[in-house]
Amino acid sequence: MDNTNVKIYSSDDTLPMELAAVVATAREALNDAYAPYSNFLVGAAALLENGLLVKGSNFENASYPLCLCAERVALASVHSQYPSIAVRVMAVTAKNPKQKITEPVAPCGACRQVLLEFEQKQGVPMQVVMFGETGKIIVYESAAHLLPMAFDHSFLSD
């Protein structure tokens, strides 16, 4: 990975103001996680181009394959309420009551695919911010950097 695509901050206190707000909102979203099966709470927050912050958290089900990831809950919420407003930043974090998460949390492959398509659709980069309960915060400048050689709409065009 080309390092110009990534920024690393040592803690919340060192973040620029705009990123600090979206990071704090993702941490708040942990409180809304419904994860009785995995006990792995995930919080996400989207910062929209108009300054609004939209939360998402994971939403599990006894029928395990129906579990929804926090990032996709956040994006679906954004798209249903503000379909034409770009997401400039997506922040994601997690909390495990049994073991403190000290490393940044990485979005799963399915979420990367959905983040990428959302970014392609809006036509402007979406930064992706990853962090744990403590420790460093990693910022990727674009969702595209998280999914090299992606399958996308271009394969389906006429």
Which residues of the chain form contacts with ligand THU (CB under 6 A)? 35, 38, 40, 42, 58, 60, 67, 69-71, 107-108, 111
Q: Is 15 helix (H, G, I), strand (E, B) or coil?
A: coil
Beta strands in the chain (DSSP E): 6-9, 41-48, 53-57, 87-95, 127-131, 137-140
Strand bridging mode 127-131 / 137-140: antiparallel
Residue tagged active-site, from 18, 60, 71, 119: 71
Q: Give 58 or 88: the residue with its C-beta nearer to ligand THU.
A: 58
Q: Give 89 or 158: the residue with its C-beta nearer to ligand THU.
A: 89
What is the smallest separation between the CB atom of 146 and ligand THU, expressed in angstroms?
11
Q: Which helix (H) or strand (E) holds 101?
A: none
Is 103 known to be catalytic? Answer: no
What is the smallest separation between the CB atom of 141 and ligand THU, expressed in angstroms?
19
The residues that are catalytic are 71
